Amino acid sequence: MTTQEQIQVEEKLRKVQELYADAPEIGRVALKKGVEEGLARELAAAMQRESAGRIGARQGKVSELTAIIPLEPGGGKRIRGLLDLLGGNFKGADIVGTLHDMRFVLLENDTKLLFCTAYDGEWDTYIDDFATKIPTSMDILFCNCAGWPGISSPKIKDWIVSHQLTADAWYVASPNLTVAETKRLEKIGAAVDEFLDKIG
Amino acid sequence: MSPPKVELHEIQATVLRLRPAPYYGSHVLFRVDDAKAGHEFLRRLAPHVDSAANWWKPADAWISVAISYAGFKALGLPAESLQSFPEAFRVGMAARARELRDEGVNDPKNWEPLFGNGEAHIGLNAFSDSMEKWQRIVEMAREQLRDLHGVRVLAVQDFGMQPGDRNSLGYKDGIDQPAMEGVGVDPLPGQGNPIKAGEFILGYPGETGVPLPMPQPDILGRNGTYVGFRKYQSRVGAFNRFLHANGKTEDEREFVAAKLVGRWRSGAPLTLAPDADDPALGADPHRNNDFNYAGDTHGRRAPFGCHIRRMNPRDTQLTRLTDVNIHRLIRRGTTYGKPYDPNELSEDADNVERGAIFLFISAKAMATMEFLQQEWIDEGNFIGLGEERDPIIGRQEEGAYFTIPKEPVRRRVHGIETFNVLRGGEYFFMPSLSALRWLGEFQM
């Protein structure tokens, strides 16, 4: 570590101690222990924040999209019903090829939707493709959101941004593995095993 | 339901009319110092701009006129009109460098000083099939500046086809253009189903069924389109050194050169001529593009990462949900400078003034160029190639390689460099003929 990095870490340590000055007893004790156990290393390893384009965070090739969206009257009931019928199975999303995961959580008596996803690249790059390739699925699901302009509307990107919140912190284990790359590695792994089985 | 007829008599010829062969021409950039003089210049030019009516018939010489955002400002367009242009157009190509992946050697700070600073206001493009008619039409265009103070020529870049109909790296180019609906001509074999006119010209439904937003007022936007202007310098020495490092004989070098592009230098596609060049095939517009990749799903003929398979994947299985039809551009490629010579190997040969200037035309040229740069040019993920980039127009990092699928195992050729360096670029709006006249009569 250079002297300058050392100074930066010490500054961070001072700040975190300041933040925790009025924390509950359990937190103050834990922080003290944390400092002894090497919190400085963690702080020194902190990475620069990356943006996923207009909004959202990004780590390597993976980006996050988090949105809290008010629903149309009756929209919550429809989404809950639809998700139940799908049995939580979104196999159809495979076709998109960039989605690592998706989470739907209905909030506040089913009046709002929390939607979270991790995906490859920048989302707005492929919005037009959604509009021509899977407009029906998109509109069936998201028509329940208040003010949904329709996936084909020129206003769609602004609408999404208006509901999106950038994650304050986010962890990705393999920031350089896209969904396509993961599938490729799975295939290679299987082929190697098959090969080893044959010669072994 | 039949598609809406495109108003060809309103659209500038260059949008649809193909480059003649041979071709001669110039790109001329103007700066407008005085708005009134700018209007007068456009008023004088307008009657000399060909429309796209009967665009399929050969023509001998024509000009097109396009205006940048800085140009519209200099012409005194009202604020609400200026605001109606898409953001990427308003801030300009240089300011979108991050989205366009114009970084490193392609960073706007390394561009020719002419570009990226809001100086280029009007772009005029002249095409001709003969040297004499070309010079005459450029002279005619410049003549319109006579006694006009307040508009000046910033730069003139002449271009022309190199011997044998080749570009600056020695290939026949400009073969595969998207087919469009409602323009009065059936697609050429292999062009695929015609794409909705609204993808290329404002005022018509696009592939989503909805027209794209137009700049306002209506008379300004309708039948207009956007042009991405990009000037590349070809590093011919680096390209030839790469071929020599990967091919001991001329045949081996030509094989690698064909694999990079997906076509032999003659234009013959590897999909139809996998083992040896077929110049007659390359020269025949009814055959040289008549293929898909159904019989080449492993990329053993045309590698997945080759230039033409990236720029138009056709029926290739992509890793991401993609509508190939909405990421196409009409290209008017123009080659400038010293002709390609396969024997030039020196580093000096990299710095010779030669290369290609492209006009990329689309009703959403800015979004499409950003998509292409991010996804299909400076990436490989969409086609299962990780970080591999387009070997011809990609910007390469240290250690770049190119994968050639073959039996029993793939071959990787190393030492790929940035063979075409971006020297500058601008976005322009190419208005309809009515819009040009409207701008010419504009009262501030």
Task: Tell whether A73 and A40 lie within a shared domain.
Answer: no
**pLDDT number for residue B89:** 98
Q: What's the start-to-end Cα distance of chain A, in Å?
A: 48
Please check whether residues A36 and A60 belong to one and the same domain.
no
Radius of gyration of chain A (CA): 22
According to the model, what pLDDT value does residue A140 have?
A: 94
The span from the CA of B4 to the CA of B413, in Å, is 48
Q: How far apart are CA B133 and CA B62, in angstroms?
A: 9
Summarised one tens digit per residue, pLDDT across range B414-433 is 999 999 999 999 999 999 99
- Does residue A71 share a domain with residue A161? yes
Query: What is the complex's ipTM, to 2 decimals?
Result: 0.82
Which of B85, B317, B320 to mutate to test binding with chain A, by most A CBs within 10 Å of its CB?
B320
Neighbours of B211 (CB within 10 A): 20
Chain B residue numbers with beta carbons less than 8 Å from the beta carbon of A123 are none
Classify B14 as helix, strand or coil.
Answer: helix
Above pLDDT 90, what percent of chain B?
91
Residue in A closest to B367 by C-alpha: A125
- Asked if residue B22 has a cis previous peptide bond (ω within 30° of 0), the answer is yes
User: Rounded mean pLDDT of A45-67?
Assistant: 86
**Total residues found in chain A within this entry:** 200
d(CA B383, CA B425): 28
Query: B265 to chain A, minimum CA–CA distance in Å?
Result: 32
Backbone angles phi, psi at B289, to 5 degrees: -125, 10
Closest-approach residue (CA) in chain A for B96: A53
The answer on A87 and A61 residing in a single domain is yes
The domain total for chain A is 2
- Residue A54 pLDDT > 90, yes or no? no
Residue A49 inside a domain? The answer is no
* Confidence category of residue B221, pLDDT binned at 50, 70, 90: very high
User: Among B135, B118, B117, which Cα is nearest to B126's?
Assistant: B135
Averaged over B191-219, what is the pLDDT?
A: 94
Residue A51 lies in a domain: no
Hunting for tokens 């593995």 — which residue is that? A177
Q: What is the maximal distance between C-alpha atoms in chain A?
A: 64
Give A58-111 pLDDT, tens digit per residue.
999 999 999 999 999 999 999 999 999 988 778 778 888 999 999 999 999 999
Question: Do residue A61 and residue A30 come from a single domain?
Answer: no
Q: Is residue A89 part of a domain?
A: yes
Q: Which residues contact B308 (CB under 8 A, 6 or more apart)?
A: B176, B261, B262, B263, B269, B302
Question: How many contiguous H segments (helices) and E segments (strands) does chain B have?
Answer: 14, 10
pLDDT at B304 over 80: yes
pLDDT of residue B281: 97
Chain B residues lying within 8 Å of A139, measured CB to CB: none
* A191 located within any domain: no
Q: At what angle do helices B433-440 and B35-45 cross, to 10 degrees?
A: 140
Same domain for A40 and A111, yes or no, is no
A156-198 pLDDT, tens digit each: 999 999 999 999 999 999 999 999 999 989 999 999 999 999 9
Do residue A60 and residue A40 come from a single domain? no
Contact yes or no for A145/A177 (Cβ under 8 A) = no
Nearest residue of A to residue B214 by CA position? Answer: A154
Q: Which domain holds residue A21?
A: 3-44
Distance from CA of B20 to the nearest CA of A (A): 34
| Of B263 and A52, the one with more pLDDT | B263
Tokens 């000037």 label which residue?
B231
A40 in a domain, yes or no?
A: yes
**Residue B242 one-letter amino acid:** F
User: In angstroms, what separates the C-alpha of A167 from chain B's closest C-alpha?
Assistant: 22
Of A130, A152, A180, the CB nearest to B381: A180
For residue A192, the distance in angstroms to the closest alpha carbon of chain B comes to: 14
Average pLDDT, chain B: 95
pLDDT tens column, A131-154 = 888 899 999 999 999 999 999 898
Identify the residue with better confidence: B408 or B13: B13
- Tell me, yes or no, whether A137 and A62 share the same domain: yes
CATH number of the structural domain spanning residue A129: 3.30.70.100
Radius of gyration of chain B (CA): 21
pLDDT of B1 strictly over 70 = no
Quick one: A104 and A147 in the same domain? yes
For residue A181, being part of any structural domain is answered with no
Please report whether residue A22 resides in a domain.
yes
Q: What is the pLDDT of residues B48-63, one digit of tens each?
A: 999 999 999 989 999 9
Domain identity same for A113 and A40 = no
Under 8 Å CB pairs connecting chains A and B tally to 64
Q: Residue A141 falls within a domain, yes or no? A: yes
pLDDT at B191 over 70: yes
Q: Is residue A142 domain-shared with residue A109, that is, in the same domain?
A: yes
% of chain A residues with pLDDT over 70 = 99
- By residue range, what is the domain housing residue B251? 1-444
How much is the average pLDDT of A12-26?
92
Of B53, B25, B18, B46, whose CA–CA distance to B133 is shortest?
A: B25
